[in-house]
Structure 1
Amino acid sequence: MHADDSLSFRSYGCTGHGHRHAHVQLVLPLHGMLELEVEGRGGWLDPQRAAFVAPGALHVQQAQGRNRFLIVDCDASRLDDAQLEAGLQRPFFVLPPAARHLLSYVEQAAEGRAQLARALTRQVLPLLLDAVLAQGRQRRDGRLQALCERIRLAPGQDWSLARMANEAGFGLTALHAAFRRELDCSPVQWLQRQRLEWAQQRIAEGLLPLARIAQQAGYSDQSALTRAMRRELGITPGRYRRQLQA
């Protein structure tokens, strides 16, 4: 572990000030939501969505209500130039399941126990960084990368496995293998995450009815979107929007 690495728990209020620092910072959600702007790019953090703050990036945050985040500060030398650039260009990302499990473990184990928290920093931080930054590593298969970009642009379309395989030039078995190897999930799981993230962004904008958002995101109806958000985020679309508007 680098000498500058640290792990801390923080909660945020309704006011913040812009600041920069020379190290990498991961803002990882435990409870509640946080509005964050990084170099002019704004977004919301919640139990599924985290942020990467690159060295020197100007950022400011504010929150309403109860919230708690795990903040990981680490030396920039842990990352290569491609990872740092990717983090600067796309500061917001869906937290990988492996990292979410680690976050839950760290929070439960270190609550109110400073010595254990320090020990966990030494033991868990490398695993946590690896789980979070795995998505930033360059994909080895350009066909899969191109397919994922097309899906991100229109996740609500009918992305059947057959269509995914055909557009990427894979057979069905090779499609599953590529997703498992490079994204650590099945094609269907990855598509579901993109649809939920797209729906969250539209809900936060507050411009469309929830039923329309559900339809455009690829859900059969608003109830299906509600079930997905409850399962993944522990909150309904209506409550999510009300908290953001508050």
Structure 2
Amino acid sequence: MSKKPIVQPQDKYVLRMPDGLRDRIKAYAERQGTSMNHEIIRVLEREWPMQWPVDDRLEELGKMLDILSAGRGDPRLDEFVSRFEETVNGIVSGRVTGVDAETREAVRELWESYRQREDEAAFHQAVDEQADNFTEEEVEAFELTGNYEKYAVPPPKRPDPFKDGLHLMEIIPRGPLSEIVERLSKGDTEGAAEIVRKIPKDEIERRLAFQALSTFEQDRLRRDPNEEIPELNYDPFKLPE
């Protein structure tokens, strides 16, 4: 007789929403390819994160150090660094419980000093990791208004020639892009369009998927010799017909 799978208990709560809010969340979730439940929980978890007892957190870091001592090349080193920063931030913010006020203040001062000594690249990397918790629409809304408003009908995309130009350079390989610019400079719009049509669709999709990753994840993939990432100088015209 087969055993039935164990179902983990989940808290349930009947949520009363103002008129129209459900439809707005539903429209946003469908646009993101997720569910209403996923979007609601994602936002709630971000606003009310679970707290950690300091003893449990230190024990977890200690176990990770024991594992990592076997070899410096262990990929879990990145995870340990991330958990360490997460723990220190938790002590400073109050997310880690069981730390007295004097210790918390000492950690805060040391952590603030450390953050100030970080170079600009490391700072942007940390910001980029935090941005992974937000969708592109949320980030754009925050840049405009300072909060993460979401709408059922998305606002028109803001023109940004510099940003759009950089994005185009990442999506279209350099060789074809240079040829497109040359054709357009001569007024040959049909020739430019023909170049775009010759670029394999799967190559464009690969580049779009890579650009959708965080800067931190892109850099990690570039450093991994076993990962295949889009080539900067890829030329589709050299492929056999």
Bucket of the pairwise TM-score, normalised by the shorter protein: under 0.3
TM superposition score normalised by structure 2: 0.22
Q: TM-score, normalised by structure 1?
A: 0.21
If each structure's strand is expressed as a fraction of its own residues, which one has the higher value? 1
